Structure 1
């Protein structure tokens, strides 16, 4: 009997080890509309990339990429609404459980915006919102250099740690982050400017890990059913531009970013939500108020610059600040209408029939801190 058990261990244990479940999975979009979704995952051993997906576990189709990699990105079509998709991933002998995510709705859409994820807080309250889409206003990790070593631009370990902290959330909810300065900090910032660049402006690790639309450091995502457009911009620490502390791309009138945003908002949908990671007052005053004039074509601007919850209003436009680490020093906007030191997020609820969008600043204890409503028109708003 002992001999038989020994033989079984020799021949079958290696197979069991190589068949470990794939658990690091996250969902993103790299197209500009919700007719496709990207399933991303990590494996211990390199191999091909296979996604099985469908409305039931019994009727799943398969999409395969013949490649040899441990970081997998496979885009699949979304042809149904108001439904639940089932999916699983496989690489050689490694496979995942069957997971699910919601197809986009046709009546009421829920989207949450978070920022300042460094502390990795309890997100039970946000998870209960059961949102269709999770976005960020920057600073998704603490930095790169502490985990990866100074100067390592392509290291994705801090993003892996983020996925590992909330596995069920990322397996079930499409995720669209934007950049903050912490997301590309490859050297310690220090108190004086060094000779070398502290930040990787091109955000190599971020763009390697996430599959996002456009250039990825800036992107837009449309939800035509709700006449809604999200635009992610790259603003952070703009006062350091042109120094070794520079962290974001150019934002002058001749920059690709300015011209791109100007074009996107010239014929924008009824509602435009603009995301970035700079203090609202700082960026809207740039170019003699030029950015503010472009922002006025949209509905709201959302940043994660400060560690607090805030709503400000200036010349008919609403500016938000939201933070999962909301108890830090407060730098109130000159036009602040609401300000609170609360850990929280911004919840957007869009109703297709009325065309209205409700924006709620909510705490991580599920308190509604502030609520505003916005009609489909980008230049009018009403408050309950």
Structure 2
């Protein structure tokens, strides 16, 4: 942060400095002086955020039958093709994967079975139990509250319960909608959430009382839509397929706001990949700009990004805080913005406050007015002169250097503080 000259600058310099909790650091940027009403351009720097890391399946063309692993730092890699230990059996339609503790379970639509991923590099898997009689197993969701693994069948329109030891699928309920493709469990609500490829709707499902509620319509072009869903940190995400018959296939990760139904792209699209599976491993922490203090209100153009613009309702000194919401605890930093009205007492075409901040004008009596304007003495000037006790009288603090440090007494607030 830049330190301003004068007594007011001493107050501003007391604003919090960047600090880190865990491996995240936040620097809200340099302090600023701007003209009312702004905007102030805020350019924070945040380091140590978690990467965007998620898996989808299966690949297309040269990546057929593979798990596609996207990492925002390391890029795109593949696991597979998915086969059993002796390479005799392939799993051509890995329609979903889910992590339970340290084990990754998968389901294959064409093989009609549950499997466990043994090696996330080679794609070695082990099938659990026999081939199922359910013809179109399509999705998995793990109820971590009750230790239950669910699956869906988009041909029979059934919600199924899965035995992880035997690979058996037991019907729970018939769904009032067809073509279920996405399924995810939200521990916060205790509900399952599902998407269908026919009507492109999002539903909540309560297996206990078999109540199904249509929440939002998620419009998609023909042959497009959500093939899988997953919750991460209480938020819902989906793997959206642009066009099942396009070449190459393209999958886009999206956030679906449960409160509004609004969809937003997350990260870049993955080319040559279907959206049959979705497992999110990590997501960058969210952040937000807020006003910590100030005489009026502040409007941020992009309150959830590092770079934003702030517009103010009235002049004054504002403390603006950027907070990153980390699992280990929030991390924040504050930038001070001095919003001034245009005053040009020395008639040089510049704002007086900027003249003082840039050193174009001196303000040794710390009254916020360039000394050449000859402003009347104020209580602030008297306070500075009295506390410094360095000159014969207030009118001479701009002429004497009592402690011989090369700084006139009126400018020597830091020198005074050093003598306390």
TM-score, normalization: structure 2? 0.25
Structure whose CA Rg is larger: 2
Q: TM-score, normalised by structure 1?
A: 0.27
More strand as a share of residues? 2
